[in-house]
A and B are shown apart, each in its own frame.
Chain A
Amino acid sequence: MHVRVRAGAVEDVRLEIYEPPRFFEAFLRGRRHTEPPDITARICGICPVAYQMSACLAIEAACGIEVSDGVADLRRLLYCGEWIESHALHIYLLHAPDFLGYASALDLARDGRGLVERGLALKKAGNAIMELVGGRAIHPVNVRVGGFYRAPARTEMAALAEKLRVALDLALDTVAWAAGFEFPDFQHDHEMVALVTPGQYAIDRGTVASTGGLSFTPAEFEDYVIEEQVPHSTALHARLAGRGRYLTGPTARYTLSSQWLSPVARQAADAAGLGAECRNPFRSILVRAVEVVYAVDEALRLIERYEPPAPCYLEVPPRAGVGHGATEAPRGVLFHRYAIDAEGLITSARIVPPTSQNQASIEDDLRRFVADRLDLDDQQLTHQCEQAIRNYDPCISCSTHFLDLTVDRA
């Protein structure tokens, strides 16, 4: 992160935290149309399901296939597992220590072992879904284009439900706990973008909607969202055509879909003081906690009515065409587009992950955030900027990245 200060004012903030999946887009060309779910799952260790689901939707759209409701429900259940895991990890091990005055989760664990244990137990409930439905916890192997290799038995689901009932209490405790944190007074005015599925909190499908009134299908995504190369970063910056920067992710989802939370999640949100929308990025920890409640509750609902889909997958014979898919990754809208030839070989691939979409908005927030803190020394400023960046839970495209702040105060 580079900050340029001139005459006591922030002139520029540039952030380079993310590497785009261009390698994967190139790597996918010439591969078979059945391969993207497994290959793109490797882009992110935290949200492999998101990549698998967006890939499946895009390829199925290209091939003119729509999966059964039973398969769609099983996908949504798997996705709930990923939300629980990803959010619990972020809340407890990365974000909460900032609010409690700890330098890290390690220091928090030394003082409050029970809190970290609660977070890990909650996360483990997400793991359990991933292991049963996905076949294993990292890079699930049970997902295929057209459905699943194997549908879990009802008895297996019953055992999973037991774990989730315990997790629901942990999730509710998490919301109540996070509601007691002190949040810096900071509001943004970004246009917020998320999938919407009326009647349901969007996870595994939907149309794209914005707080500015936009509404378009995943197939129209590239007409509305333009990615631009910026000189200071290898990452592309996404903008809404003719409108500018925007924000995707939990607070955008919440703002656009909070009326469709389940009653228990809605109640938790109300008790935590979340209104109909959330424009304070620091309060995203609360939104994530509410989304964990929703994901656990939704998983229980899906399990309760579960019948193993038969067949558990549809054959997806290739045909020449282009398909688009978008789902709500834990960090926001994840878009995939594939072009396939008649033999089923991929001729082009495009992946637009949430972090690249948020880059411009994060920089804008940091510009304002830093402007109020120019009296801090570089070390203090670095720490506070890290906290501000953590609000957005940027994607871990490389686990060895650190924030290297340079402040040019000349």
Chain B
Amino acid sequence: MTRQDNPGQRTVVVGVGNEFRRDDGAGPEVIARLRALQPGDASLSGVTLALSDGEPGRMIDLWEGARLAVVVDAVRDSSMPPGHLYRVAVDALTGVVDGVADSAASSHSIGLGDTVELARALGRLPARLTVLAVVGRDFGFGTSLTPEVAIAVGELVEQVREIVRW
């Protein structure tokens, strides 16, 4: 039985973002590179590579029951330079990713931090969840990453490959 066949052994990597919003496309770009590597990379064999716009219901469906989920997202964070990477284990997550600790502050969306907490309240977190976040500089309309984030994407790909090996 492959890892893919057994839900309890499933590993999923989710790239969150919109490739038409400049640095918000970092997550999808990581997934695109992993897909290109997947055929020749044993560590990625059987790993589900998925895209998400961050919508909580589908995100929870993607990772529920997985042995390991890795979520790659771009974040705004004025305290750190663009391209800075965060690597956050799930328990330490709230309040860091997206800075969305209080969803009442949001008029019409739910951030990744809240999605994790929602999954926790519903008992639908994966066994292990790691969030890799890159600080973006430009989230305006456009299809290319800023140079700092483009460099960080290479490092994100390496980190994902390292995490899914375990």
Contacts and interface: CB of A to CB of B under 8 A. Distances in A.
Interface of A: 17, 19, 22-24, 27, 42-43, 45-46, 85, 88-89, 93-94, 103-106, 109-110, 113, 116-117, 120, 123-124, 127, 137-139, 383, 386, 389-390, 393-394, 396, 398-403
Given A46-B55, A116-B118, A139-B51, 11 more contacts: A23-B20, A45-B53, A89-B57, A103-B104, A120-B122, A127-B61, A138-B55, A390-B108, A394-B107, A398-B21, A399-B18
B1 interface: no
Interface in B8-22: 18-21
B110 A386 contact: no
23 contacts: A24-B141, A27-B143, A45-B53, A45-B55, A46-B53, A93-B56, A93-B118, A94-B110, A103-B104, A104-B103, A109-B121, A113-B123, A120-B122, A127-B58, A127-B61, A138-B55, A138-B58, A393-B108, A394-B107, A396-B108, A396-B109, A399-B54, A401-B109
Interface string B121-146: 11100000000000000010111000
**Contact count band on B:** 35 or more
B36 interface: no
A22 B141 CA distance: 9
Contact of B114 (A43, A104, A127): A104
Interface of B: 18-21, 51-58, 60-61, 76, 98, 102-111, 114, 117-118, 121-123, 139, 141-143
A365 B163 CA distance: 50
Contacts of A389: 107-108
A403 B108 CA distance: 9
A23 B18 CA distance: 14
Nearest to A44: B53
B53 A403 contact: no
B149 to A, nearest CB: 15
B107 A403 contact: yes
B122 A117 contact: yes
Contact of A105 (B52, B118, B143): B118
